[in-house]
Chain A
């Protein structure tokens, strides 16, 4: 079992409580959507899991053990929102991907692995020697996903990874995530403010507001028969809802 689990997690910055006693589980092989407005604490919750935000209470575990935040083996990886900031502009795409691999491989093995990963995310392996400047936003985001996969993670956190992309490219990334879950059994925490996108990729969804999770459950149930008023407000605000017959 390798569930990613937040138990009673609190994150504070000074006196400001950003994440307030949150319980959340990403079951193995599932995509869990995390929705909420900006400032609701969803990104902080994710950053706490990878050691980028201080945890003041509770535990975050992966398969029952604490998530390692030091050392070379990192079974929890993260992909960020801005495709233009998430790759080192001075490094070739291949080097960026290879850097995240666990140590103990020959140069040739690494190169083969880079090619395999780029192919997996549908980027031409010949691109391994180019720098991010030569890639489009969608390609960069897929390289960032390949880099996350290079670390052989059991869970990947995707933090608003499609919100900076054009709509024609968003679909490619969403299809890719579903494919990775299906083919590799990868678990994903998919953070987004776009309910329609979450509905499309996630089997479970958690709704966050002001640092707390107000509702969670299977996507169909939560979005189809919401229990919490806030979930209903979010649903009513999805553009295009009212013009539906």
Chain B
């Protein structure tokens, strides 16, 4: 956390705002000591004078130096603003966390009151309170503080309610920790950050309100003075000496800006993960030249004569910016998918399997960088710039199915319309025709009562039906390849089976290529002909599914299969586990990435990364000890005592 705050200071805006804030605070402390006397020195011989070398901003109606008074007023202006902010935050915290402590009924009443108070304009409340508490600084502080409290209360309430629903709060309650204690231990520390950010921005706003109130004559009263008061006095002499109004005005502007900018930049720094990534790597010269060497391309065209190959990927690499320089989560992945073939990709989180799918479908976010010596769909090169032609190719020949169909369908549009859009956009079909095709496709993926269902919104569909609709959307064109990324992970087992059956049917009927990505070896085993096992961004083994259970040669594949209990697992033995944990793509070891967890690893494995070697049967494996028997009883380690980075 502290590091994130420090990082904010390293951005130009953050550093500037912090410096400005620091300057204002230093002035607040120092100015009265240095310029206090000058600000009070009455000089009746020189009243209401314009700027001169002696008085840079001129003098007021008693001949006092205005610049000195502006500087000295920093202390009172900032002090009052901070005091009012403190009141707003404290009262807001109290009101905002009260609903959590009071229980449901009283809490609701409290929330309603706060919501009503938020609806009142702040300045109106301040004026009202200023009248109640009387004129003067104390009244103004209370007024502005209390006027700011409702919005803080609502923010606190929202943050607290969000945290109170978290599992760790539930766990603490179950362990018998009282509500008040939970609030102070678990909830408030976790909402402190956004509240602090808002308080900083709030301080800037409060400063402006104060200036406004004093300017109206409702704030600080003579002989005390703050910036608002000086502004009020300056405006009366505006035509004689404009500087008298401009100087305090500029002070208000600068200080307000300082607080606001600091708050904004901190909010930006803490809120957005992009800042954590650091600057993206500059595209290296050799990387770009490697992208499409003309000569190699020509040779490729000769090679790729096989019309049965739907997808052809060679040496795929994906680079994304990391906190400490670029990282490569996908490293040299090569595979082909033929017509009617189902290829499974399995691996743990961080193995690069999903990123491979995104790279193939050209969906990697802009910060990522995709390279390959070959990347073809139906013989068409997918590398290089986005063109209308390529978009149409991807839109009609490729279907992508994601894990969570709720987020991949537009919640505000009817299902039928969303499907029809594919046909009207990519195929130029008329609306009516597109709509009837959409209904036809929904029927094809097994949605009952299509006429009615097509007019419904995604939230009216169950999870399994949404996933079918998503597959149906992929079938609007005439896809030659379906890429499904964990399509059943969010679904119940019974529904999972239906979706897998549907995918298998489509593949069989239309001779479509299928790439199925999953963490679950058993799911892949059920649908696919061939499995690619990925580890740390590489394919470590490529084998027929029928060989998974008994014929796997890479120790990782074997461990992966053994670690998943199925309905035949011996329940008297402990489950096989893989010691250690998956490799962080930012910290790849020199040799084989799996060596640290592998019972067969030796010195060579730790030094040299084994290449992916194909045997005559077309199976591939990347291991120096492929197929060697595993030493017995290795799987019993209680995993992961390795040092990890967060």
Contact = CB atoms under 8 A, between A and B. Distances in A.
Given A136-B640, A175-B574, A239-B526, A167 B167 contact: no
B349 A138 contact: no
Contacts of B349: 166
A170 B349 CA distance: 13
Given A85-B168, A87-B168, A175 B575 contact: yes
A170 B563 contact: yes
Given A168-B560, A171-B578, 14 more contacts: A37-B492, A37-B493, A76-B174, A85-B166, A86-B167, A99-B185, A102-B176, A167-B519, A171-B565, A175-B575, A178-B574, A196-B567, A200-B575, A239-B500
Interface residues of A, number: 71
23 contacts: A37-B493, A52-B173, A80-B170, A91-B185, A91-B186, A99-B177, A124-B641, A135-B644, A150-B175, A151-B176, A167-B564, A168-B559, A172-B639, A172-B640, A174-B565, A178-B574, A195-B567, A196-B569, A199-B569, A234-B494, A237-B497, A239-B493, A239-B500
Contact of A168 (B166, B520, B563, B646): B563
B186 A88 contact: yes
Interface residues of B, number: 56
A172 B567 contact: no
B334 interface: no
B348 to A, nearest CB: 4
Interface of A: 37-38, 50-52, 70-74, 76-78, 80-82, 85-91, 96, 99-100, 102, 122, 124, 133-136, 138-139, 144, 147-148, 150-151, 166-172, 174-176, 178, 193-197, 199-200, 223, 233-244
Contacts of B282: none
B351 to A, nearest CB: 9
Contact of A72 (B176, B493, B519): B176
Identify which of B349, B463, B640 gathers the most chain A CB atoms within 10 Å of its CB: B640
Given A200-B571, A239-B523, A82 B641 contact: no
Contact of A196 (B495, B565, B582): B565
Given A134-B646, A196-B565, A166 B582 contact: yes
A240 B644 contact: no
Contacts of A124: 641
A1 to B, nearest CB: 23
Nearest to A49: B174
A126 B306 CA distance: 59
Contacts of A168: 348, 559-560, 563, 577-578, 581-582, 639
Interface string B60-103: 00000000000000000000000000000000000000000000
Interface of B: 166-168, 170-177, 185-186, 189-190, 348-349, 463, 492-497, 500, 519-523, 525-526, 559-560, 563-569, 571, 574-578, 581-582, 638-641, 644-646
Nearest to B523: A239
A151 B174 CA distance: 9
B581 A169 contact: yes
A99 B186 CA distance: 11
A237 to B, nearest CB: 4
B176 A71 contact: yes
A138 B174 contact: no
Nearest to B527: A239
B638 A243 contact: no
A161 to B, nearest CB: 11
Contacts of B492: 37-38, 193
Contacts of A89: 190
Given A85-B166, A175-B575, A237 B176 contact: no
Contact of A134 (B166, B348, B644): B644
B168 A243 contact: no
A90 B175 contact: no
A199 B646 CA distance: 34
A244 B174 contact: no
B167 A147 contact: no
